[in-house]
C-alpha cells in the first residue's frame, strides 16, 4: 500500500540537461492519497481458514522453506529491553481504529502509518505509527478572531459532511489552528502573517476539503470567499516523513519503552509494534547510519507454456516454471537458488528444485516461498508488467483466492490496478500497478529504461550492453515442446529458465558463480545504492523513485526547507504570470569543419544551479512588477535579469532554492572528498551513489521551476536562468576572442568555433595539446574572475582532432592530459535509433575511429568503399542489415502500412506457429522486389532470406540507411563526398544470388558450370571447362581458401553458442534474434555446406 | 631423372625399401556433409569412448570408491566422476568481441597465451556441470579433456578434487623383430616456399642430400637408407589477401602460383627417388579445420605423376615395416600452448598421448569438422613415433608406458627458419 496511488503516472518532468531548452513538461497529474481501510482489505474468515488448511497440506514444502527463514529474534528484542533501530524501506498508511492505549483521548478511525524495514541483524520490522494527522494551510483572512475561526470550523465541517455523505466518520475537520507562516511566493517585507492550519481526520479529506475551499465557502461577515490552499497536495506519507525528518531509506530508532508490542500480529514481520510519531528518532544518513541493512532481495522470473503462434495469455497458458534467487544486500553470493517446476524435473547441481504435479501447487509454493523468505525488495525484468500480473491473473483463472497474499500483511491481498504511464520519450504505455504491502518492487526493465538510453531494452541487449554477455534465448514455442517432453527436456528448460536470470557464463548448470541477470544488473549498475542514496538526498520513499516523476523529489526538498523557514507552499497549478514558453538556452553557430588543431572546451560547472545561486533566484526573492513600483527597492539590492525579471539580492532575503542548491553542491563536494578517502568498496558505493544523486537533484531544480504543468512552476525563474546562461556564453565568447589575439601578445588569434548550453569550444590556434591546455586553463581562470560566485568556468578537456558537423553533432578525440588521449567522444552522430541497422552504427564508428584516432582519412574512405562493395557483392553479414521493430498492434490497427506489420502478416500465412505475435519484436531485412514495389512490401524475415537465397536490396541500404550518416561525417572532410563514396568504381561490381523459391526457378534445369568462368559444362568435364584448365591451381586455391575461411568462422560461431548456453554435450537451441551472431551462425552453416559441395567437385 | 644410382661406376647403392601402410582413413571427411550438425555430437562421442575406457581402469585405480554422474553427486560423499573438462578463461577471445561497443583505445596486442590466474575448471557430463576446486591445476588442462576425478561435493556446490586419473598411453602394437638393418625416415616441416625470407638454396641442398647427390660415399650410404620423407605442413606460403573473391589479374595469378610451382619442382626431385608423404598445414592451400584434407593433386602436376608421392591428411598416421607413426603439422600443440602451460613442446605432446587424444581443444578453440558419430582424434593405438611439425626447435624424448609401450616424441623445427630436418632411425629392438 503506497500511501497514495496515483491514477495516472507521469514521467520525468525534469528533462535531462540536453533537453532542458525544450521546456516542455510531461503532463504531471497530481498524486492523490487513497485511503485503504484495513478491514476491507483482509480476506474474510472463511477464506482465511482455507488458507490455513492449505498451508497444512503443503507442510512438506514448508519444511523445505523453513531453512530460509530470517534469523530469529535476539532475546533483547523478545524481552523488549532494547531499542529498535531499523532501516526503513517502505512507508504507507492505513485507516483503522485509533490506538486506545497510545492515544487515550481520541477515538474513531484514524490514519495509521506503517513503516516497514529491516534491522541490522536482518529481522523484519513493521512499525505502526499513531497520532500523526493530515493537515494543510490556508491564509487567514484578515481580522479573523478565535470566534470567527470556530464558526468557520463549523461551516467547513458542515460542508464536508455534505460532500461526504457516504462516510460515517464522526468528525471531519478535527481542529483549526492559527499559525504564523509566510507564503513562499514573492518577496515580502513583513516576516510572517497568520495562516490557518486545518487538521482533518483522514488523508483523503485533505483533497475534498481543498475542493470546497477552492470553490468558495460562505462565511458570515465575509460573504462567499474562496481560499488558496497551501501544501494541500502533499501525500500523507510524505507529509509524515517531512514532519518527522525522515528521508527515504534512512534508519529509524524507537527507544525502549516507547513502543508497544502489537496485541494482534497483523503482519508477517518479526517485530511488529505500535508507537507514537513523536517518539520516533530519525537518524540522518551519516556515519554508522549511512550503511545498508541486510535486505533480502528476491529476483524471480516465470516461464509459461505458450501455444504456437501466440504470446502466452494468463487465461489459457499455464505457468510451468518459476525461478527464484534470493540475495542479501551487500553479498556477492546468492542465499537461495531455487526453481519450481510443473511436472518432474531432473536435479541441477547447486540448485534447489521443487517439482509439483499441478500448477496450483506451483503457485502456492511460490507464495509460501515469498512468505517464508520474506523478501524486502522484489526485482526482476519486466515483472511489473508481465510476471506479477500474469501470476495473479493465472491464480484467478485457477480460482486460487488465497494466492495473492504476497505482501507482509496477513490475509491481505495484493492490489492490481491499471496505470497509464505517459511520457514524451516513450509515449503512452499501459501498465499494471501492483501493490505488495511492505515489499518494494524494483523492475529492472523500468529502471534501465528510465536511466539509460539504449537502442533496445530486451534483457538480452541490456545484458549485452552492461555485462557484455549474450543471453541464450529460447522461443516460447520451443518452451512448450520442452515442457511436454520428459524429465530430461524439462531439466533443459529449467536450466534455461534459471540461467536466463541467474547464470550466464559458466554455469547453466552450476549457477554458483553468477547471479541472475537482473541481480547482476542490479549490482553492476549499483541500483540499490544509487536509489537509496537518491531517496536519502531527496527525502522521498524509494518506491516513489521508480513510479513517480522528478518533480516530487524537488517538491520534497522544497517542503522540508520551507518547513524550517516557516514558509508555506501554495497549491496553485499556475503561479506567477501566465507565460507560455520562453527562450531556451543559446547555441552559438557551429562552424562546421574538421579541425586538426587542438580545440579547448571551456565548461561551466553546474551552470544552471550556479546561476540560481549567484543571482539568488527563488520563489521568495521574486518581485512582481507591481511590487517593484510599490516597494521602491534600492537598485543595489536587486538583480534585474536579462529576461526582465527582478529578484532581490541575498542581503534582503536569501532564497530557498539557492540554499537547497548550496547544500546539495556542498554535500556533493563532501561526498566526493569522502569518496576519495574511502577504502571499503561498500562505503565507496554508497558515496558514489550519493554524489550522483546530489548532482542529479541539483540539476533538476531548474527543471522543476520550468515545468509549466508541474507542482510549482515559476517561469520567471527558469527564463531568467536561461537568459543568464545565454548571456554568459556570449560573454565568454567575446572575452576569449578579445583577449587571446596576436595583438594581445599571443601567437594566434583564438576563435570560438562552437558553443553549447554550458560549454564553449575554442580554437587557440596552437598546434599541441599541451599549449592548448595551458591557454585553456588561463582562459578559464581569467573569465571565471569576471563572474559572480559560484559561477565558474572550468577548463576540462581538449578535442584533438575535432570533427564538427553541425550544432549538437560532433566527434573528437578527448584529451585530459597531454600525453595520451582518453577516448573518442561523439555526440549526436552515433545513431542509436532503433530503426537503423547495425551496419550504420558499425560503419560510422569505424570511420570516426579511422579519421580521429588513426588520422587516416584515405583509410576511412577505403573502408567505406570496401563496405559498400561487400554490400553490393552480397558478402555482408546479414545480422548487420536486420532492422527490428516491435509489433504492438495487428495490421488493421495501423493506419499506414508498416514493413514489419506486413511481414508479420505474411509470416503468419506461412507458418502461424513461428510467426511473431503482438508484443514480439519483428526483425526484417529489405529485399529486392519487383520494380515499383512499396517499401513495406519489401520486408522479409531474415531467416527466410537466408534459407531461400533471397537477394537483399543493397540500394535501399545504400540510400536509406548509410548514405546520410556517412555524408554527414565526410562532408566537412572531403570535397565530393557523395560522388567519391557512393558512386565510385567500387559500386560497379555487384552480385545477386538466385533465389531458390521463386516460381520461375522450378522450371530451370540445373547444370554444372565451370568453377572458373561459369560457362555451362558439357561432356565429361565436371569441374572446369577446357579454357580454364590452365588455372586449375588458382581456382582450387580460391575454393579451398573460401572453405578455410568459412570453417574458421563456423567453428568460432558455434563454439561461442556452446559457451553461451553453458554446455558442451547439448545441442544449441538458442533463438535469440537479438544476438549479433544469430544470423551469422545460420548463414555460416549454410555457406559451409555449399562451399564444401563446391570443393568436393574437385575430387575427380 | 634423378635416382640413387649416382656413382654408377662404383658399387651401386640401392635405396632400401620398406612396407608402407597408410592409416589416414579415419581422418578423411570426403563422405561427410554439413547438414546442420553441431559440435555437441563430437563431445558426446568422445565422452562415450573415453568414459568406457576410464570406467574399465577405475577399478584398478581406486576400487573402493563409487562412480557417480554429476547429477548423482551428494554433498560430502566421496566418489569418482568422469566427464569432459571445461575451462573458463577470462582472456579467451570470443567472436562477440567484434561486437563490443567500443574499440579500445590501445591496439589489441595479439597474445600468444590466454591464461589468467582466475581461470577455473568445470566438469561436465550429459547430466550437468559442476565447478571444480582442489588439486586440479587449471593451467595443465584444457577444455575437451576427459578425465576421472576423485573427490566430493562441498557445501558450496563445488566438487573438491583430491585425485585425478587420465586415460594413459594406449596399447601399442608389438614392434616387429627384424633382420638388423638401419632405415631412416626424414621429417621436414615449415618449408615456407614463397616467403620472402626463405632461401631456396637451403631446400635444394636438402633435396640433393637426401637423394644422394651430395657428400662422400659414407653419406650417400646413409642417404640410401632413407626409406621415407614426410613433410609435416606449411610447405608454401601463399601471399595473404589474394584470394578474397575478386578475379585475379594475371600478375597476381602468377604471384599466387609461383611458390606452389617451385615446391612442385623440388618435390618432384624427391618423389623421383624416395617415397614422399606431404601433409597440409595451417599456411597451405588446404581447408582450415582439422582434420585437414590432403593437398589437391592439381597443385602438384609434376610430383603427383609419381606413385611415390602421397598427399596425406593432417593428422597423419602410417605404418612403416609395422612401425607406427602418428603426427600433425602442429596446430594441436599450438592451440594447447595458447590455452594451457607446459615447460616445452615435448611436454604438451606427452600430455596429448597420456590423454589419448590428439587435439582435445578441438572443436572448442581449434577448428574441427563437426563429426557426428566418432572422434577421429582419439588415439586408439599407441604409435611408436609421434611427431609434430612446425616447432621452434628440435626436441625429442623417449617415453615409456606402464605396459611397456615405448614412444619416441619428436618436435620437427621449421625448416625455413632453422634449416633443420629430422632423421629418425627405424631402430631395431635389441
**Cβ-based neighbours of A706, under 8 Å, separated by 6 or more:** A20, A23, A25, A713, A715, A717, A718, A719
Contact B131 A1062 (CB under 8 A): no
Q: Is A824 on the interface with B (CB under 8 A)?
A: yes
Nearest to A1064 among B86, B253, B257 (CB): B86
Domain residues of chain B, as ranges? 20-33+172-425, 40-94+113-165
- Chain B partners of A1034 at a C-beta cutoff of 8 Å? 248, 253, 256-257
Mean pLDDT along residues A915-919: 67
Q: Reduced to 3 states, what is the DSSP secondary structure of residue A678?
A: coil
Residue A4 has pLDDT above 50, yes or no: no
| Predicted confidence (pLDDT) per residue in B150-173, tens digit | 888 887 778 888 888 888 888 888
How many residue pairs from chains A and B have C-beta atoms closer than 8 A? Answer: 179
What does each C-alpha distance from B338 to A10, A426, A1045, B93, B374 come to in angstroms? Answer: 55, 48, 21, 11, 26
CA distance A925 to chain B (A): 20
pLDDT band at A490 (very low <50, low <70, confident <90, very high): low
The pLDDT score that the predictor gives to residue B279 is 92
Burial of B240 (0-12, 13-18, 19+ CB in 10 A): exposed
pLDDT of residue B111: 60
Burial A1006-1019 (b: 16+ CB within 10 A, else e): eeeebbbeeeebee
pLDDT score, position A792: 86
What span, in angstroms and rounded, lies between the C-alpha atoms of A79 and A70?
Answer: 19
The closest CB to that of B157, out of A512, A1092, A1095, belongs to A512
- State the DSSP H helix or E strand holding residue A695, giving kind and residue range, or none if neither: helix A681-706
Q: Does the pLDDT at position A894 exceed 70?
A: no
Q: Is A1012 on the interface with B (CB under 8 A)?
A: no
Mean pLDDT computed over A872-897: 71
Alpha-helical (H) ranges within A961-1031 are: 963-970, 977-982
The grid cell for A296 is 533480502
- Is residue A940 over pLDDT 80? yes
Residue A1002 has what pLDDT? Answer: 56
pLDDT attached to residue A603: 87
Assess whether pLDDT exceeds 60 at residue A468: yes
**What average pLDDT score do residues A24-53 get?**
54
Give strand ranges (E) for A758-904: 759-763, 793-806, 809-815, 823-827, 883-886
Question: Average pLDDT in the A379-392 region?
Answer: 84
Q: Is A821 on the interface with B (CB under 8 A)?
A: yes
Q: Please, which pLDDT band fits residue B248 given cuts at 50, 70 and 90?
A: low
Residue range B20-33+172-425, CATH number: 3.60.21.50
Residues 47-66 of A with CB under 8 A from B: none
Tell me which residue in B43, B98, B256 faces A1065 most closely, judged by beta carbons. B43
pLDDT of residue A514: 33
| pLDDT at residue A937 tops 50 | yes
Give how far B225 is from chain A: nearest CA, Å. Answer: 34
User: Is the reported ipTM for this assembly greater than 0.95?
Assistant: no
Write down the pLDDT at residue B213: 82
C-alpha cell at A610: 550556479
Confidence of residue A116 (pLDDT cuts 50, 70, 90): very high
Across the range A486-513, mean pLDDT stands at 45
Q: What is the pLDDT of residue A344?
A: 67
Smallest Cβ–Cβ distance between B299 and the set A464, A849, A1036 belongs to A1036
Interchain CB distance below 8 Å, A1036 and B99: no
Size of chain A in residues: 1100
Contacts of B35 in chain A (CB under 8 A): 1089
Longest CA–CA separation in chain B, Å: 84
Residue B344: all three cell numbers together? 616445452
pLDDT-derived band at A15 (thresholds 50, 70, 90) equals very low
Residues A295-534: name the CATH superfamily. Answer: Ribonuclease H-like superfamily/Ribonuclease H (3.30.420.10)
Which of these, B146, B150, B59, B52, lies nearest to B356 by C-alpha position?
B146
**B33 vs A822: CB contact, 8 Å cut-off?**
no
The whole-number pLDDT of residue A19 equals: 36
pLDDT of residue A680: 77
- Range A455-464 average pLDDT: 71
Instruction: Tell if the CB–CB gap between B289 and A1051 is shorter than 8 Å.
Output: yes
CB neighbours (10 Å) of residue B8?
9
* CB-closest option in B99, B158, B288 to A1048: B288
Can you give the pLDDT at residue B236? 87
Mean pLDDT in residue range A410-427 = 65
Measured between CB atoms, which of B95, B105, B248 is closest to A1053?
B95
Are the beta carbons of B131 and A512 separated by less than 8 Å? yes
Output the pLDDT for position B388.
Answer: 92
pLDDT tops 50 at residue A154: yes
Give the closest-approach CA distance of B179 to chain A in angstroms.
Answer: 41
Cα–Cα nearest to A531, from A520, A545, A517? A545
Contact (CB<8Å) A1033/B288: no
Judge residue A591's burial from the number of C-beta atoms within 10 Å of its C-beta, 0-12 exposed, 13-18 middle, 19 or more buried. Answer: middle
Residue B415 host element (H or E)? helix B415-418
> Whole-number mean pLDDT of chain A?
77
Interval B133-158 mean pLDDT: 84
- Which residues fall within 8 angstroms of residue A731, CB to CB, at 6 or more apart? A783, A786
What confidence score (pLDDT) does residue B10 get? 55
Which among B270, B260, B254 has a CA at the least distance from the CA of B203? Answer: B270
**Is the pLDDT at A272 greater than 70, yes or no?**
yes
What lies within 8 Å, CB to CB, of A507 at 6+ separation is A350, A499, A513, A514, A1062, B122, B129, B131
**CB contact (8 A) between residue A349 and residue B128:** yes
What is the rounded average pLDDT for all residues in chain B? 81
Q: What is the pLDDT of residue A1015?
A: 67
pLDDT, position A135: 92
CATH architecture of the domain A68-131+250-285 equals Beta Barrel (2.40)
* CATH number of the B40-94+113-165 domain: 2.40.50.430
Separation in Å, CA of B230 to nearest CA in chain A: 22
Second CATH level (architecture) for the domain A573-590+612-796: Alpha-Beta Complex (3.90)
Contact A1054/B363, CB-based, under 8 Å? yes
pLDDT (0 to 100) of residue A1057:
81
CB contact under 8 A, A510 and B38: no
- pLDDT-derived band of residue A477, with 50, 70 and 90 as boundaries? low
Whether B288 and A1044 lie within 8 Å, measured CB to CB: yes
| B33/A1089 Cβ within 8 A | yes
The yes-or-no verdict on residue B73 having pLDDT over 50 is yes
Mean pLDDT lowest for which of A493-502, A585-594, A1066-1075?
A: A493-502
CB atoms within 10 A of CB A327: 26
On whether the A135-241 domain is CATH 3.30.70, my answer is yes
Is the separation of the CB atoms in A769 and A800 below 8 Å?
A: yes
- The pLDDT confidence band at residue A362, using thresholds 50, 70 and 90, is confident
Chain A partners of B102 at a C-beta cutoff of 8 Å? 823-824
Residue with the bigger pLDDT between A490 and A166: it is A166
pLDDT digits 0-9 by tens, B198-226: 778 888 888 888 888 877 888 888 888 88
Between these two residues, A921 and A747, which has the higher pLDDT value?
A: A747
Per residue in A789-814, pLDDT (tens digit) is 788 888 888 888 888 888 778 888 88
Chain A positions in Cβ-Cβ contact with residue B38 (cut-off 8 Å): 1054, 1058, 1067-1068
Q: Determine the CATH number of domain A838-987.
A: 1.10.132.60
Residues 1036-1095 of A with CB under 8 A from B: 1036-1038, 1040-1045, 1047-1048, 1050-1056, 1058-1059, 1062-1068, 1076-1077, 1085, 1088-1089, 1092-1093, 1095
Query: Is A526 touching B (CB cutoff 8 A)?
Result: no
Nearest to B289 among A465, A1047, A1096 (CB): A1047
- Residue A535: predicted pLDDT: 86
Alpha-carbon gap, residue A13 to A920, rounded angstroms = 30
A66 DSSP assignment: H
Of the listed ranges A250-254, A304-308, A694-698, the least confidently predicted one is A304-308
pLDDT given at position A470: 58
Cα–Cα nearest to A955, from A879, A1079, A875, A868: A868
Query: What's residue A134's pLDDT?
Result: 92
The reply to whether residue A507 touches residue B30, judged by beta carbons under 8 angstroms, is no
SS3 A399: coil
Q: Do A1042 and B243 touch (CB under 8 A)?
A: yes
Q: Of A508, A1042, A1076, which has the smallest distance from its Cβ to B96's Cβ?
A: A1076
User: Confidence band (pLDDT; 50, 70, 90) for B316?
Assistant: very high
Lowest average pLDDT, out of A418-432, A439-453, A465-479, goes to A418-432
Strands A883-886 and A921-926: antiparallel
Q: Which stretch of A209-213, A264-268, B244-248, B346-350 has the lowest confidence by average pLDDT?
A: B244-248
Distance from CA of B204 to the nearest CA of A (A): 23
Among residues 337-396 of chain A, which lie with CB inside 8 Å of chain B?
346-350
Please tell me the predicted confidence (pLDDT) of residue A262.
79
For residues A430 and B297, the model is more confident at B297
| Cell (9 digits) for A40 | 476491507
Residue A500 has pLDDT above 70, yes or no: no
Amino acid at each position: 500500500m503506497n500511501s497514495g496511488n496515483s491514477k495516472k503516472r507521469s514521467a520525468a518532468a525534469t528533462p535531462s540537461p540536453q533537453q532542458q531548452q525544450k521546456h516542455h513538461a510531461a503532463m504531471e497529474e497530481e498524486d492523490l492519497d487513497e485511503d485503504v481501510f484495513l478491514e476491507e482489505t483482509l480476506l474474510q474468515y472463511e477464506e482465511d481458514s482455507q488458507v490455513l488448511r492449505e498451508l497444512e497440506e503443503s507442510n512438506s514444502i514448508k519444511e523445505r522453506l523453513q531453512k530460509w527463514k530470517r534469523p530469529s529474534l535476539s532475546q533483547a528484542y523478545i524481552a523488549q529491553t532494547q531499542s529498535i533501530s531499523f532501516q526503513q524501506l517502505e512507508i504507507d498508511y492505513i485507516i483503522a481504529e485509533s490506538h486506545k492505549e497510545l492515544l487515550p483521548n481520541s477515538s474513531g478511525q484514524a490514519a495509521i502509518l506503517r513503516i516497514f524495514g529491516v534491522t541490522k541483524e536482518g529481522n523484519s520490522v513493521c512499525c505502526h505509527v499513531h497520532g500523526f494527522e493530515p493537515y494543510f494551510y490556508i491564509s487567514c483572512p484578515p481580522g479573523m478572531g478565535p470566534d470567527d475561526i470556530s464558526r468557520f470550523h463549523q461551516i467547513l465541517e458542515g460542508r464536508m459532511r455534505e460532500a461526504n455523505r457516504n462516510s460515517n466518520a464522526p468528525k471531519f475537520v478535527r481542529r483549526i489552528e492559527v499559525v504564523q507562516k509566510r507564503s513562499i511566493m514573492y518577496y515580502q517585507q513583513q516576516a510572517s502573517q497568520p495562516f490557518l492550519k486545518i487538521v482533518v481526520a483522514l488523508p483523503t479529506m485533505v483533497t475534498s476539503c481543498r475542493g470546497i475551499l477552492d470553490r468558495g465557502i460562505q462565511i458570515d461577515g465575509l460573504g462567499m470567499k474562496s481560499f488558496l490552499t497551501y501544501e494541500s497536495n502533499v501525500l500523507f506519507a510524505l507529509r509524515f516523513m517531512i514532519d518527522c525528518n525522515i528521508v527515504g531509506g534512512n534508519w529509524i530508532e524507537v527507544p525502549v519503552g516507547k513502543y508497544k508490542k502489537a496485541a494482534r500480529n497483523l503482519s508477517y514481520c518479526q517485530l511488529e509494534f505500535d508507537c507514537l510519531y513523536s517518539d520516533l528518532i530519525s537518524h540522518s544518513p551519516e556515519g554508522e547510519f549511512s550503511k545498508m541493512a541486510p535486505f533480502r532481495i528476491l529476483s524471480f522470473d516465470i516461464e509459461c507454456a505458450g501455444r504456437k503462434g501466440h504470446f502466452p495469455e494468463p487465461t489459457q497458458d499455464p505457468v510451468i516454471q518459476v525461478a527464484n534467487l534470493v540475495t542479501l544486500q551487500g553479498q556477492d553470493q546468492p542465499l537461495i537458488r531455487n526453481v519450481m517446476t510443473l511436472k518432474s524435473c531432473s536435479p541441477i547441481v547447486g540448485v534447489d528444485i521443487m517439482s509439483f504435479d499441478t500448477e496450483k501447487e506451483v503457485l502456492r509454493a511460490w507464495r509460501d516461498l515469498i512468505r517464508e523468505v520474506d523478501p524486502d525488495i522484489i526485482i526482476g525484468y519486466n515483472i511489473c508488467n508481465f510476471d506479477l500480473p500474469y501470476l495473479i491473473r493465472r491464480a484467478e483463472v485457477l480460482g486460487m483466492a488465497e494466492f495473492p497474499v504476497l505482501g507482509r500483511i496477513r490475509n491481505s491481498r495484493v492490489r492490481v490496478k491499471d496505470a497509464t504511464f505517459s511520457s514524451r520519450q516513450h509515449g503512452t504505455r499501459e501498465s499494471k500497478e501492483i501493490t505488495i504491502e511492505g515489499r518494494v518492487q524494483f523492475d529492472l526493465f523500468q529502471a534501465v529504461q528510465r536511466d539509460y538510453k539504449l537502442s533496445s531494452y530486451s534483457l538480452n541487449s541490456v545484458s549485452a550492453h552492461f555485462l557484455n554477455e549474450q543471453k541464450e534465448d529460447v522461443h516460447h514455442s520451443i518452451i512448450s515442446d520442452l515442457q511436454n517432453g520428459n524429465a530430461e527436456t524439462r531439466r533443459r528448460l529449467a536450466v534455461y529458465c534459471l540461467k536466463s536470470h541467474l547464470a550466464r557464463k559458466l554455469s547453466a548448470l552450476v549457477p554458483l558463480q553468477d547471479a541472475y541477470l537482473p541481480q547482476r544488473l542490479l549490482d553492476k549498475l549499483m541500483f540499490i545504492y544509487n536509489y537509496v542514496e537518491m531517496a536519502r538526498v531527496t527525502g522521498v520513499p524509494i518506491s516513489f523513485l521508480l513510479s513517480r516523476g522528478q518533480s516530487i523529489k524537488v517538491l520534497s526538498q522544497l517542503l522540508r526547507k520551507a518547513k524550517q523557514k516557516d514558509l508555506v507552499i501554495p497549491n496553485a497549478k499556475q503561479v506567477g504570470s501566465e507565460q507560455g514558453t520562453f527562450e531556451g538556452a543559446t547555441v552559438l553557430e557551429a562552424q562546421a569543419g574538421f579541425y586538426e588543431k587542438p580545440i579547448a572546451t571551456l565548461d561551466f560547472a553546474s551552470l544552471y544551479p550556479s546561476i540560481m545561486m549567484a543571482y539568488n533566484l527563488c520563489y521568495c526573492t521574486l518581485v512582481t512588477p507591481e511590487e517593484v513600483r510599490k516597494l521602491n527597492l534600492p537598485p543595489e539590492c536587486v538583480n534585474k535579469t536579462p529576461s526582465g525579471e527582478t529578484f532581490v539580492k541575498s542581503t534582503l532575503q536569501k532564497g530557498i532554492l539557492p540554499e537547497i542548491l548550496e547544500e546539495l553542491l556542498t554535500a556533493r563536494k563532501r561526498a566526493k572528498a569522502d569518496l576519495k578517502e574511502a577504502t571499503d568498496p561498500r562505503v565507496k558505493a554508497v558515496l558514489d551513489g550519493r554524489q550522483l544523486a546530489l548532482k542529479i537533484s541539483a540539476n533538476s531544480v531548474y527543471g522543476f521551476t520550468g515545468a509549466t504543468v508541474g507542482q510549482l512552476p515559476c517561469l520567471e525563474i527558469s527564463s531568467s536562468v536561461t537568459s543568464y546562461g545565454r548571456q554568459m556564453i556570449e560573454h565568454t565568447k567575446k572575452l576569449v576572442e578579445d583577449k587571446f589575439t596576436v595583438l594581445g601578445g599571443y601567437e594566434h588569434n583564438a576563435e570560438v568555433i562552437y558553443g553549447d548550453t554550458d560549454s564553449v569550444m575554442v580554437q587557440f590556434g596552437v598546434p599541441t595539446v599541451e599549449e592548448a591546455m595551458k591557454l585553456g586553463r588561463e582562459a578559464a581562470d581569467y573569465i571565471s574572475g569576471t563572474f559572480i560566485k559560484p559561477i565558474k568556468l572550468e577548463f576540462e578537456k581538449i578535442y584533438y582532432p575535432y570533427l564538427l558537423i553541425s550544432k549538437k553533432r560532433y566527434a573528437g578525440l578527448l584529451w585530459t592530459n597531454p600525453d595520451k588521449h582518453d577516448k573518442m567522444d561523439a555526440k549526436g552522430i552515433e545513431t542509436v535509433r532503433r530503426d537503423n541497422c547495425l551496419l550504420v552504427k558499425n560503419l560510422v564508428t569505424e570511420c570516426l575511429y579511422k579519421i580521429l584516432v588513426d588520422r587516416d582519412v584515405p583509410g576511412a574512405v577505403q573502408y567505406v568503399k570496401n563496405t559498400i562493395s561487400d554490400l553490393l557483392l552480397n558478402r555482408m553479414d546479414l545480422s548487420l542489415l536486420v532492422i527490428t521493430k516491435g509489433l504492438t498492434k495487428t495490421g488493421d490497427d495501423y493506419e499506414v502500412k508498416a514493413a514489419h506489420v506486413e511481414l508479420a502478416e505474411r509470416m503468419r500465412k506461412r507458418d502461424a506457429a513461428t510467426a511473431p505475435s503482438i508484443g514480439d519484436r519483428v526483425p526484417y531485412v529489405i529485399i529486392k522486389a519487383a520494380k515499383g514495389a512499396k517499401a513495406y512490401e519489401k520486408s522479409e524475415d531474415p531467416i527466410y532470406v537466408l534459407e531461400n537465397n533471397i537477394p537483399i536490396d543493397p540500394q535501399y541500404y545504400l540510400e536509406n540507411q548509410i548514405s546520410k550518416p556517412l555524408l554527414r561525417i565526410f562532408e566537412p572532410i572531403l570535397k565530393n563526398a557523395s560522388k567519391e563514396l557512393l558512386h565510385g568504381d567500387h559500386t560497379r561490381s555487384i552480385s545477386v544470388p538466385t533465389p531458390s523459391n521463386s516460381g520461375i526457378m522450378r522450371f530451370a534445369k540445373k547444370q554444372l558450370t565451370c568453377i572458373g568462368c561459369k560457362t555451362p559444362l558439357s561432356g565429361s568435364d565436371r569441374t572446369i571447362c577446357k579454357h580454364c584448365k590452365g588455372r586449375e591451381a588458382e581456382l582450387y586455391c580460391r575454393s579451398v581458401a573460401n572453405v578455410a575461411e568459412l570453417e574458421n568462422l563456423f567453428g568460432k560461431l558455434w563454439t561461442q553458442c556452446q559457451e553461451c548456453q553453458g554446455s558442451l554435450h547439448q545441442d544449441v537451441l538458442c533463438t535469440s534474434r537479438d544476438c549479433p551472431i544469430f544470423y551469422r551462425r545460420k548463414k555460416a552453416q549454410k555457406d559451409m555446406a555449399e562451399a564444401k559441395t563446391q570443393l568436393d567437385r574437385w575430387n575427380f | 631423372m634423378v635416382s640413387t644410382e649416382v656413382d654408377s661406376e662404383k658399387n651401386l647403392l640401392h635405396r632400401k625399401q620398406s612396407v608402407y601402410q597408410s592409416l589416414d582413413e579415419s581422418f578423411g571427411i570426403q563422405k561427410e556433409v554439413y547438414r546442420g550438425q553441431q559440435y555437441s555430437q563430437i563431445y558426446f562421442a568422445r565422452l562415450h569412448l573415453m568414459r568406457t575406457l576410464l570406467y574399465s581402469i577405475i577399478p584398478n585405480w581406486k576400487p573402493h570408491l563409487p562412480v557417480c554422474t554429476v547429477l548423482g553427486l551428494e554433498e560430502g560423499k566421496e566418489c569418482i566422476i568422469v566427464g569432459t573438462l571445461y575451462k573458463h578463461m577470462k582472456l579467451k577471445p570470443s567472436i562477440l568481441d567484434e561486437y563490443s561497443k567500443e574499440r579500445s583505445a590501445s591496439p589489441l596486442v595479439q597474445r600468444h597465451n590466454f591464461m589468467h590466474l582466475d581461470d577455473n575448471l568445470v566438469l561436465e557430463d550429459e547430466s550437468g556441470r559442476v565447478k571444480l576446486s582442489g588439486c586440479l591445476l587449471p593451467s595443465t588442462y584444457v577444455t575437451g579433456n576427459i578425465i576421472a576425478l576423485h573427490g566430493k561435493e562441498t557445501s558450496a556446490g563445488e566438487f573438491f578434487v583430491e585425485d585425478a586419473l587420465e586415460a594413459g598411453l594406449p596399447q601399442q602394437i608389438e614392434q616387429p623383430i627384424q633382420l638388423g638393418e638401419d632405415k631412416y625416415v626424414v621429417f621436414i616441416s615449415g618449408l615456407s616456399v614463397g616467403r620472402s625470407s626463405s632461401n631456396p638454396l637451403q631446400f635444394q641442398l636438402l633435396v640433393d642430400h637426401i637423394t644422394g647427390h651430395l657428400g662422400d660415399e659414407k653419406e650417400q650410404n646413409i642417404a640410401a637408407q632413407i626409406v621415407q620423407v614426410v613433410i609435416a605442413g606449411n610447405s608454401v606460403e601463399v601471399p595473404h589477401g589474394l584470394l578474397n573473391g575478386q578475379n585475379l589479374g594475371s600478375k597476381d595469378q602468377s604471384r599466387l602460383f609461383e611458390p606452389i610451382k617451385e615446391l612442385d619442382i623440388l618435390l618432384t626431385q624427391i618423389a623421383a627417388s624416395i617415397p614422399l608423404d606431404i601433409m597440409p598445414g595451417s599456411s597451405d592451400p588446404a581447408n582450415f579445420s582439422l582434420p585437414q584434407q590432403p593437398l589437391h593433386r592439381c597443385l602438384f602436376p609434376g610430383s603427383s605423376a609419381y606413385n611415390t608421392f602421397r598427399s596425406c591428411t593432417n593428422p597423419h598416421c602410417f605404418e612403416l615395416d609395422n612401425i607406427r607413426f602418428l603426427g600433425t603439422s602442429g596446430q594441436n600443440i599450438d592451440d594447447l600452448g595458447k590455452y594451457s602451460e607446459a615447460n616445452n613442446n615435448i611436454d604438451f605432446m606427452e600430455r596429448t598421448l597420456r590423454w589419448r587424444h590428439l587435439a582435445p581443444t578441438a572443436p572448442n578453440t581449434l577448428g574441427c569438422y563437426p563429426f557426428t558419430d566418432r572422434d577421429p582424434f582419439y588415439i586408439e593405438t599407441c604409435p611408436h613415433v609421434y611427431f609434430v611439425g612446425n616447432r621452434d626447435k628440435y626436441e625429442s624424448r623417449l617415453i615409456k608406458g606402464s605396459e611397456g609401450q615405448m614412444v619416441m616424441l619428436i618436435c620437427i623445427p621449421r625448416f625455413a627458419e632453422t634449416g633443420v630436418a629430422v632423421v629418425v632411425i627405424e631402430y631395431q629392438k635389441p
